[in-house]
Each structure stands twice: as structure tokens, then as C-alpha cells.
């Protein structure tokens, strides 16, 4: 099978944060960024939480007001910090390009193709695209209204509820060989409180069997790492589209290097046809 992109990777907000010091985990980002290269497409969460931590550090207090407005303001503040941090640690011989997406970019054929071509050109131009959902512009209310309108016209609508869905849709868009979802855990567990129950492989003889086994594993998934997150079950649901096109999906801990994860050295949940 021919793939157009080597890797689409995504890292979650909580994996990016040093919880003890309430700052970005600069050691983790430095390690991660040093492995990024052209041919990789990177989806990063963390703008809102980064902006919140930075605002609190500078003012000594949290923002108050409408939660949507607060999210917008934190996200706008965090985006610049997040991108500056990636730029600091990505190899200087590579360009990096910030790409802020919304659900409309996946549901409109022309915008979808425009986004695809831009991402494909990055490898040819020695650049690494770093993607995030545009929380600073898109409010929940407007997104809900637009999605409902789209559902009256289309059988299948991409909502981009969170960056796990965004990453999976990007993997479909650029036909990625591998979709890597980095989290604060090793992968999917039968019992989230017992690390010995890690499900290391969700596979099958064909796509249909893999999808059946994903459905079965969803029954083990409960809860999420933070308020507003959708948890392991949602991750499994979102990656189905990527699995259908032949992409291998890996859900792994951000504490491991990309090299160790992709080579199979690190423990993780790997999903795909045998």
C-alpha cells in the first residue's frame, strides 16, 4: 500500500504540562521537537492550558467571565508560547509552520483540498507543519450551529471535537502510514487503574475485524484525564477512519522517544491489520 506521508503525530495537553511546577514540560518538548523532521505532520494541543498558566504566572490570578471567552483569551495567549517553544527546539535547518484549523476545513471540499496541498508541500520545502484547532476564533455555540447545518446536507460530518479527531482526519487527508497519539499513559488498558492490563495490540486479519476489535476494546474505556477531555474511548472511535484507509495507529506515552515508539521498543497500544 502506498502512503503519501510518513507520520501524523498528536500530543495531548496533559502530556505537555509539568504538573509539579505548573509550566510547560520543556524537557519533554525539547526531546520531542528534536525528533521532528519534514515528512512528519504534528498536531499539538496545549494552547489553552499554556495560556492559562502563563496568565496566572504574570498576574497571580485566573481570568473570570464567560467560559468561552476565557478559553478564547487563554488560547490566544498560549499559541504564541507553544509555537515559540517548538521553534526553539526543532532542528534549526527545518522550517516550522503554524496551521490553525476548524471543522469547516474538513467539511468543505475546496478548503479540504487546499489544506491537503499545503501540508504535502511542507515536506518538499523542508518544513514541519504544527497544527492546532483554532480555539481562539471558534466558539462552541457557533461550532454547534455550523455542524448542525452541515448535518442537514451531509451524511458524514467532521466535528473536530478535540485534537484526537483532528489528528485522525489529518492522517486521512494526507494518507499517513502511521498515526501516533501521545498521551500521559502507555495506551489503552482493560483496567485503567492497573498498568499490567495494557492492550498492546488491537488487530485482525482485515479492516473489518480490526474495527470489531476496536469496538470490543471501547467497552474497557471509562473516564478522561481532565475536564473537557473525551478519554480513551473517544480516541478509539476517532481513529477508525484512519484504520479504514490502512494507517497503523499507535497510542503511547509521551515519555518515550518517537524512535522507541515507532520501532516497537516502547510499550504502547498498536492498532491495525496484521
pLDDT score of 228: 41
Segment 153-166 mean pLDDT = 78
Give the residue-averaged pLDDT of 97-124. Answer: 93
Q: Is the pLDDT of residue 171 over 50?
A: yes
Phi-psi region of 212 (alpha: psi -120 to 50; beta: other; left: phi over 0): alpha
Q: pTM of the entire structure?
A: 0.90
Q: What mean pLDDT is predicted for residues 173-193? A: 94
Inform me whether the pLDDT recorded for 226 exceeds 60.
no
Taking the C-alpha atoms of residue 151 and residue 201, their distance in angstroms, rounded to an integer, is: 34
Return the C-alpha cell found at 148: 448542525
Q: At 106, which CATH number?
A: 3.40.1160.10
Nearest to 159 by CA among 131, 130, 178, 133: 133
- Residue matched to cell numbers 478519554: 231
Q: Which three cell numbers stand for residue 64?
A: 473570570
* Helix axis angle, 67-89 to 47-59, nearest 10°: 100
pLDDT digits (tens, 9 = 90+) for 16-51: 998 888 889 999 999 999 999 999 999 999 999 999
Domains in the chain, number: 1
Q: How far apart are CA 124 and CA 66, in angstroms?
A: 43
pLDDT of residue 141: 58
Q: Is 60 exceeded by the pLDDT of residue 227? A: no
- φ, ψ of residue 179 to 5 degrees: the values are -115, 120
Write the CA distances from 183 to 44, 87, 88, 255, integer angstroms: 11, 22, 22, 9
Helix residue spans in 21-128 (DSSP H): 26-33, 47-59, 67-89, 104-107, 109-124
- pLDDT surpasses 60 at 229: no
DSSP assigned state of 139: -
Averaged pLDDT, 181-209: 94
Is 223:189 a contact under the CB 8 Å cutoff?
no
Domain boundaries, position 135: 5-273
Element (H, E) at 165: helix 163-173
Amino acid at each position: 500500500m502506498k502512503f503519501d506521508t510518513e507520520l501524523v503525530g498528536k500530543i495531548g495537553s496533559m502530556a505537555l504540562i509539568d504538573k509539579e511546577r505548573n509550566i510547560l514540560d520543556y524537557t519533554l518538548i525539547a526531546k520531542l521537537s528534536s525528533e521532528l523532521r519534514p515528512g512528519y505532520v504534528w498536531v499539538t494541543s496545549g494552547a489553552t492550558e499554556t495560556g492559562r498558566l502563563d496568565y496566572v504566572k504574570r498576574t497571580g490570578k485566573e481570568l473570570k467571565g464567560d467560559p468561552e471567552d476565557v478559553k478564547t483569551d487563554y488560547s490566544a495567549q498560549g499559541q504564541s508560547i507553544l509555537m515559540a517553544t517548538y521553534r526553539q527546539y526543532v532542528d534549526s535547518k527545518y522550517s516550522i509552520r503554524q496551521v490553525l484549523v476548524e471543522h469547516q476545513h474538513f467539511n468543505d471540499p475546496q478548503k479540504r483540498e487546499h489544506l491537503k496541498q499545503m501540508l504535502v508541500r511542507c515536506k518538499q520545502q523542508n518544513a514541519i507543519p504544527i497544527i492546532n484547532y483554532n480555539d481562539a476564533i471558534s466558539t462552541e455555540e457557533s461550532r454547534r450551529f455550523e455542524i448542525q447545518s452541515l448535518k442537514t446536507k451531509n451524511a458524514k460530518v467532521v466535528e473536530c471535537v478535540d485534537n484526537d479527531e483532528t489528528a485522525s482526519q489529518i492522517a486521512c487527508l494526507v494518507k499517513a502510514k502511521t498515526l501516533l497519539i501521545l498521551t500521559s499513559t502507555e495506551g489503552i488498558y482493560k483496567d485503567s487503574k492497573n498498568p499490567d492490563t495494557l492492550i498492546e495490540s488491537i488487530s485482525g486479519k482485515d479492516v473489518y475485524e480490526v474495527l470489531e476489535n476496536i469496538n470490543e476494546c471501547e467497552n474497557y474505556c471509562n473516564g478522561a484525564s481532565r475536564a473537557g477531555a473525551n478519554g480513551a474511548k473517544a480516541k478509539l472511535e476517532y481513529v477508525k477512519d484512519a484504520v479504514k484507509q490502512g494507517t497503523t495507529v499507535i497510542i503511547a506515552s509521551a515519555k518515550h522517544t518517537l524512535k522507541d515508539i515507532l520501532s516497537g521498543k516502547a510499550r504502547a497500544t498498536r492498532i491495525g491489520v496484521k
